[in-house]
Amino acid sequence: MANILVTGGAGYIGSHTRYFLEQRRHRVIVVDSLERGHRELVPDGILRQLDLRETEKLSRLLAEEQIEAVIHFAAYIAVGESTQVPEIYFVNNVGGSLSLFSAMLSAGVKRLVFSSTAAAYGIPAKVPITEDEPYAPINPYGESKVMTEKILEWLDRYREFRSIRLRYFNASGAEPDAGLGELHDPETHLIPLILRAILTDKPVTLFGDDYPTPDGTCIRDYIHVSDLAEAHIFAVEHLLEGGASDVFNAGTGSGHSVKEVVDAVERVTGKRVPRTIGPRREGDPPALVANSDKLQRSLGWKPTRADLDRIVSDAWKFATRVKH
């Protein structure tokens, strides 16, 4: 059992990770500005409403709560938005992270799991992607994560600041029995947008059907959010046991196209998805699929909820409990 701080713990992946940390009997404190998080996803008593750029307050909190490690999710995540207002992605994602790291160093906390992204790879030379693929982001969101990763590499070298960087792919699904699921506003992720279209009978726009893929739509590696949460727990426990810094892909190793996801939703719900085809979104690579062998081999993690119908079914159970 350890005292662990989760930044962005009122968000989608952060709230699931907090839940599974508590199942493992860790004590969790959540830091979230609630600018894009949801108060209802955090149990009473553990939320501290702070902006990550409040360095001195963060440092005091880390010391007062005797925090031993941090799992860092807090960031803006919308690729499209990052191409429209790139400056806020660097101010928030990079500036906020650097403030957090400074606060941790001031408080003597030197173990961190970082929520990174497959967007660090841009359009990869090979798929599935391995961790030795070079940085090549093609949008400001991905660049903001790469910049933060580079800061962590330097802190590891010169400040004995140990970190695990998890580059993950398309988090999806829900933990409906725990009341947890996707509540982004605005929502940009495919599965909840498709489910919302069914519930509201308003067509969802699918961006691009002319990619160089078998059916013309983007291919992504959809990883169940609960599997992803557990990857963070394996990572933080590795650091707490004295493990070294490293970087890992977190995915299933299987890709599904947008059309295949639509088919799965129709199969699971028994309802037709109202949809239109729009132009490609700027900054969207044709295919992103993870090779997560390194994570499975090094930390003993493996996805156990990887079936697409299972992912869609859990998301559907959560979506039908939320009014749109």
Q: Which residues are catalytic?
A: 141
- The CA-CA-CA angle for residues 194, 199, 204, to 5°, reads 35
98 is written with which tokens? 């650097």
CB atoms within 10 A of CB 302: 16
CB distance 93 to 150 below 8 Å: no
320 is written with which tokens? 């039908």
95 is written with which tokens? 């500036």
Task: Name residue, tokens 């003993």.
Answer: 300
Query: What residues form DSSP beta bridges with 165?
Result: 114, 247
In angstroms, rounded to a whole number, what is the distance separating the alpha carbons of residues 147 and 154?
Answer: 11
**CA-to-CA separations, 5 to 16, 26, 48, 111, 167, in angstroms, rounded:** 14, 10, 10, 11, 20
CB distance 274 to 198 below 8 Å: yes
Find the length of the chain: 324
Omega cis (within 30) before 274: no
Helix (H) or strand (E) holding 60: helix 55-64
65 is written with which tokens? 């709560």
* Count of helix runs (H) and strand runs (E) in the chain: 11, 14
